[in-house]
């Protein structure tokens, strides 16, 4: 259901409620007004007729001439006045005012709602001759109901015009807003296809302009993330190709040459005596095999540390720090790692190992630090927290270079559903904090 349809529907519902309430009030007031008008007309007629007959004792008075004139007054148009003589004969007087046209007459249902059952009023009066006659007054409120009907039609017409004006005003007011929504929706459909450079224009309505600025900021961030991911992917592919090339070169230079030398020595050993060559071929073969084992272990460690699978994360981290301490004796490395980390999933342990490996590489290359601390802990909320802190140069947070090392660490943490933050100040070192939820 569209916004325009909902608004129009609610305006219509509100107008109907107002119409029903107003109609109820109007009918109640009309009924009350008709009753009061009838009562006042009857009282006025009785008082005037009584006063007229009271003067008959002093002045001769002919009611057949006076009452028709009285009955023609506008104030008595709601009444039917008759005289009943003692003999039982009834004298009636027709109203001289023009009757209501059938076209102007209100519908019967309105007459039934507004009108009431008005009883015939009887009043005893005395003629100038001393004879008692009965005055009969019957209410006929059709004229008054017709006036009320005309007023009600005016009220209903006002409600209708007000509702129509409200519809037009609301639609005109919302037309521009709905056009802005259409522009935003169309832009979001374009953004959905991955075109994050799509920008929304400025809007004159403050709320829509705030939404547009928020969407533009979001698309800017998405576009930057997309560019970073593309650059990271290209860098990863380049590193992968470089690693394959290096491994191919290692295999060719080390294994190829060593295996060729072993083959030559084995052939020579089969043709000559043991002491003829100065050194025994078997000793040379043993030395070459030891060298090959060293090369193979180094390559295997670079590809994947077997100790991580065999002994767990804690032992691997300690072995890694020992390796870096031997290569960098000027850097003091400490680690705080509980035994519980050995029970973590393999996917988490390998990512933690690579992140620490990258952190140590950055510290040695850029930080110029004298000491670094690695802390691993599992809190009560089932989350793993890694913090690598050094006392190196540091820098302002907004000046941290988003190199491929930091991007790689951030992507590793994001792939695990964690959070990655950097805390640093100039000349106060740097802390890299990663929080990873545990299943």
In a domain, 124, yes or no: yes
The residues, ordered by sequence, that sit 6+ positions from 223 with a Cβ below 8 Å of its Cβ are 196, 197
Could you tell me if residue 268 is left (phi over 0), alpha (psi between -120 and 50 degrees) or otherwise beta? alpha
Task: Provide long-range contacts, Cβ within 8 A and 24+ apart, for 13-16.
Answer: 15/159, 15/162, 15/163, 15/166
In a domain, 178, yes or no: no
For the entire predicted model, the pTM comes to 0.47
User: 259-289: per-residue pLDDT in tens?
Assistant: 777 777 777 776 665 445 455 666 777 777 7
Task: State yes or no: pLDDT of 98 exceeds 50.
Answer: no
Among the candidates 169, 189, 214, a domain finishes at: 169
Please give the C-alpha separations between residue 54 and each of 73, 131, 133, 226, in angstroms, as whole numbers: 20, 12, 13, 108
The Cα–Cα gap between 251 and 243 comes to 12
* Residues 160, 309 within the same domain: no
CA angle, 195 then 200 then 201, to 5°: 145
The Cα–Cα gap between 258 and 264 comes to 10
* Residues 341, 292 within the same domain: no
* Residues 151, 110 within the same domain: yes
In a domain, 109, yes or no: yes
Q: Which of 168-182, 184-198, 253-267, 393-407 has the highest mean pLDDT?
A: 184-198
* Residues 100, 247 within the same domain: no
* Residues 297, 431 within the same domain: no
Sign of the CA dihedral with 285 first, then 290, 295, and 300 last: positive
* Residues 162, 22 within the same domain: yes
Q: Which two tokens stand for residue 5?
A: 């349809």
Closest by CA position to 265, among listed 249, 252, 254, 276: 276
CATH number at residue 390: 3.30.565.10
Among the candidates 254, 280, 303, a domain finishes at: 303
In a domain, 212, yes or no: yes
Band the pLDDT of 69: cuts 50, 70, 90.
Answer: low
Band the pLDDT of 174: cuts 50, 70, 90.
Answer: confident
* Residues 15, 96 within the same domain: yes
In a domain, 278, yes or no: yes
The Cα–Cα gap between 329 and 321 comes to 11
Q: Which two tokens stand for residue 150?
A: 């005309």
Q: Which two tokens stand for residue 314?
A: 């804690």
* Residues 92, 156 within the same domain: yes
In a domain, 320, yes or no: yes
In a domain, 186, yes or no: no
* Residues 52, 137 within the same domain: yes
Closest by CA position to 381, among listed 433, 438, 341: 438
What confidence score (pLDDT) does residue 62 get?
54
- Read off φ and ψ for residue 236, nearest 5 degrees: -65, -40
> 232 lies in which domain range?
201-303
Q: Which of 19-28, 32-41, 296-305 has the highest mean pLDDT?
A: 19-28
Band the pLDDT of 433: cuts 50, 70, 90.
Answer: very high
């Amino acid at each position: 259901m569209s916004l325009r349809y909902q608004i129009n529907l609610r305006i219509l519902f509100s107008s109907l409620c107002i119409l029903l309430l107003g109609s109820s009030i109007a009918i109640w007031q009309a009924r009350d007004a008709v009753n009061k008008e009838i009562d006042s007309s009857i009282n006025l007629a009785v008082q005037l007729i009584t006063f007229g007959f009271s003067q008959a004792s002093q002045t001769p008075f002919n009611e057949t001439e006076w009452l028709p004139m009285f009955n023609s007054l506008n104030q008595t148009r709601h009444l039917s006045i008759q005289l009943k003589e003692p003999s039982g004969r009834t004298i009636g007087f027709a109203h001289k005012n023009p009757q209501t046209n059938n076209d102007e007459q209100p519908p019967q249902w309105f007459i039934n709602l507004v009108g009431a059952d008005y009883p015939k009023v009887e009043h005893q009066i005395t003629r100038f001759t001393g004879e008692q006659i009965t005055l009969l007054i019957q209410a006929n409120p059709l004229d008054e109901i017709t006036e009320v009907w005309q007023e009600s039609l005016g009220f209903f017409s006002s409600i209708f015009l007000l509702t129509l004006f409200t519809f037009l005003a609301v639609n005109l007011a919302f037309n521009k807003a709905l056009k802005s929504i259409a522009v935003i929706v169309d832009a979001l459909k374009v953004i959905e296809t991955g075109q994050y450079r799509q920008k929304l224009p400025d809007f004159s309505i403050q709320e829509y302009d705030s939404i547009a600025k928020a969407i533009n900021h979001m698309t800017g961030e998405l576009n930057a993330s997309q560019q970073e991911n593309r650059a990271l992917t290209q860098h990863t592919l380049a590193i992968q190709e470089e690693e394959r090339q290096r491994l191919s070169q290692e295999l060719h230079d080390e294994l190829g040459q060593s295996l060729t030398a072993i083959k030559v020595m084995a052939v020579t050993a089969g043709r000559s005596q043991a002491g003829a060559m100065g050194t025994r071929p078997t000793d040379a073969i043993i030395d070459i095999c030891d060298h090959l084992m060293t090369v193979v272990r180094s390559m295997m460690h670079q590809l994947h540390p077997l100790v991580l699978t065999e002994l767990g994360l804690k032992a691997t981290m300690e072995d890694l720090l020992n390796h870096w301490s031997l290569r960098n004796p000027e850097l003091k490395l400490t680690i705080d790692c509980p035994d519980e980390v050995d029970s973590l999933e393999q996917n988490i342990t390998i990512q933690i190992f690579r992140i620490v490996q990258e952190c140590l590489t950055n510290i040695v290359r850029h930080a110029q630090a004298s000491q670094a601390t690695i802390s691993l802990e599992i809190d009560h909320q089932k989350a793993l927290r890694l913090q690598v802190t050094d006392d190196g140069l540091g820098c302002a947070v907004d000046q941290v270079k988003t190199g491929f090392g930091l991007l790689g660490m951030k992507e590793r943490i994001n792939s695990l559903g964690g959070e990655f933050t950097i805390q640093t100040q100039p000349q106060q070192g740097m802390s890299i904090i990663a929080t990873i939820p545990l299943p």
